[in-house]
Structure 1
């Protein structure tokens, strides 16, 4: 890149030198013609006129060659720029293709991950539904067990109450048996005394 920048600067200096030489030649021709006119000699005017035409033609040729060289340099610069842009475009195209490939791979990986996560989510939802069904079933069983426990508790209380009543009745009967035994013993003693 340093050499292309250096070349235009060098061309500009050459152009300036060439144009300067052409301008100097035209000035010399002009001075020669003016000098011949001031001198008044027709031969001198004719020679200076021919010299002016020749110097003008040389100046025109120098300017024309400078113009052609300038066009060739500009065309070469455009060609170099086009080549540089083509290389830059190829590089960017490759980078874009690589970026598109990378993004496609990432998107595919994300889609695969999303698909896997959706599968896991569906499995988790099935498990949650099954767990809810089991929980509902267990909850119903627990409610039934609590109801049975309440019923059994009521029966137990009733049985305990009956047992307490029975104990009281047994105690009363035992007391009656004791009382009857005492009366029987007293009666037997009365009978034994009557016999004796």
Structure 2
């Protein structure tokens, strides 16, 4: 069986006639229903998720095979046309709480001198670095004052800022002219 094989080469009298080595390697082949053949050349077609049958394209296959997740509410905060890729990637990790903070590194082994490099008071963690340290608390208080929000101890993500300030631009939030 070569690369120039066609479907009719493995169907005889309406039944599949798979090569024995294929059946051994891929037992699922026995479960495939035989097809009715018509005279003419074989052609590769694609049936999309929507049921439309048409010419196969890698683009359409890619679209159809994508997992449909819910919209990520914070995606525009990270991925916008003027972003700095390195900063966007770090922010993406931070929002998902996947940065290698000391509390996460500690789970990998024994580290004695783990302390926040900004305040030298506590071991750094996502919550400490971004919300509870003196530095980050001062930052968030300033941001909240710019958008006229009362400061509170947030246990959530930066994503809350997006919901509290719809329609505000980066310039108006950070006081840029």
TM-score by length of 2: 0.23
Which one has a larger percent helix, Structure 1 or Structure 2? 1
Give me the TM-score of the superposition, normalised by structure 1.
Answer: 0.21
Relative contact order higher in (CA < 8 Å, ≥ 6 apart): 1
Which structure: greater strand fraction? 2
